[in-house]
Structure 1
Amino acid sequence: MDISARAEYAVRAMLALAQASAAGAGPVSVDTLARQQDLPRKFLEAIVADLRGADLVVSTRGARGGYTLARPASAISLGDVFRAVDGPLAEVRGLRPHETSYEGVAQHLPTVWVAVRASLREVLDGTTLDQALTGALPPEVTSRAADPLAWQNR
């Protein structure tokens, strides 16, 4: 799986907003988010627009304006953020895994593609911004990451 810069930047920005929310801070501007996370401001503006369109953040206008989470960090999964900026978690040539079909030797691949999507869902939908921020990650994540082979390139 390739995690796009768009998805990575979106998660990092959402974590910064979650931290600001936990600290009781008000709205955070795109300039502040970009500076805090060392992200390109123009690119981040487009990402935040997608997050707003997905009802994950709300904007406040004015001199003290900026963005805040639309709901608690414990109610926003990493999967929500990925889908907001990149669309479905898994696609095969533009099709959802369960929409694929093959003949002959490849006939069982749709089952593999669906299993890949299910694994992504387990980790990304099972991990909230709050958990990623605090490090209190769910067992599905910590057990997979505890496997030394998970950290090795293949």
Structure 2
Amino acid sequence: MRLSARTDYALRAVSELAAAPPGPVPAERIAAAQRIPRRFLDNILLQLRRAGLIHSMRGPEGGYWLARPAEEITLADVIVVIEGRPEFQGHGGYPGAAGPLAAVWAALREHEERLLAETTFAQIVAAR
């Protein structure tokens, strides 16, 4: 699976929010902690907010926070918001001895999707 830089940044930003104490986290702090270009981060945060994964508050005491507990937000949730639903690029089958490779690729994809859907940001933060 290939992830764009945008998705990588989004996953890192949500991880930062999951690790933060309760309350709004300024975008500047997220950008600095994760070394994400600020303008790029602002667009990502807007996309995550519109999708309902995070909330925001403007003003000097404002910032961003998770819309649900970190235990309820998976890596797949963020990836789908940023990348969209993955489309399976099925192999029409390989000839001869390579025929079973198509089943291996399908199993690999299924494993990736299951891992991302089962891994929460609470687990990511706890692993550090």
Asked which structure has the greater RCO (Cα within 8 Å, sep 6+), the reply is 2
By how many angstroms is 1:13 displaced?
A: 0.6
Q: Percent identity?
A: 40
Whether contact under 8 Å (2:94, 2:102) holds in the other structure is no
Aligned length: 126
List structure 1 segments (4+ residues) > 2 angstroms apart after TM superposition.
Answer: 99-117
1:62 pairs with 2:54: no
* Unpaired segments ≥5 residues, structure 1: 91-95, 137-154
Counterparts of 1:110 and 1:84, CA distance in 2 = 28
TM-score normalised by structure 2 residue count: 0.83
Instruction: After superposing the two structures, state which structure 1 stretch, 101-110 or 45-54, moved more.
Output: 101-110
What is the alpha-carbon root mean square deviation over aligned residues?
2.4
* Unpaired segments ≥5 residues, structure 2: none
Q: Deviation per CA, 1:15-41: give whole Å up to 9, x if none.
A: 111111xx23x1112111101111100
Counterparts of 1:35 and 1:120, CA distance in 2 = 30
The amino acid of 2:111's aligned partner reads S
1:43 pairs with 2:35: no
Counterparts of 1:84 and 1:65, CA distance in 2 = 23
1:78 pairs with 2:75: yes
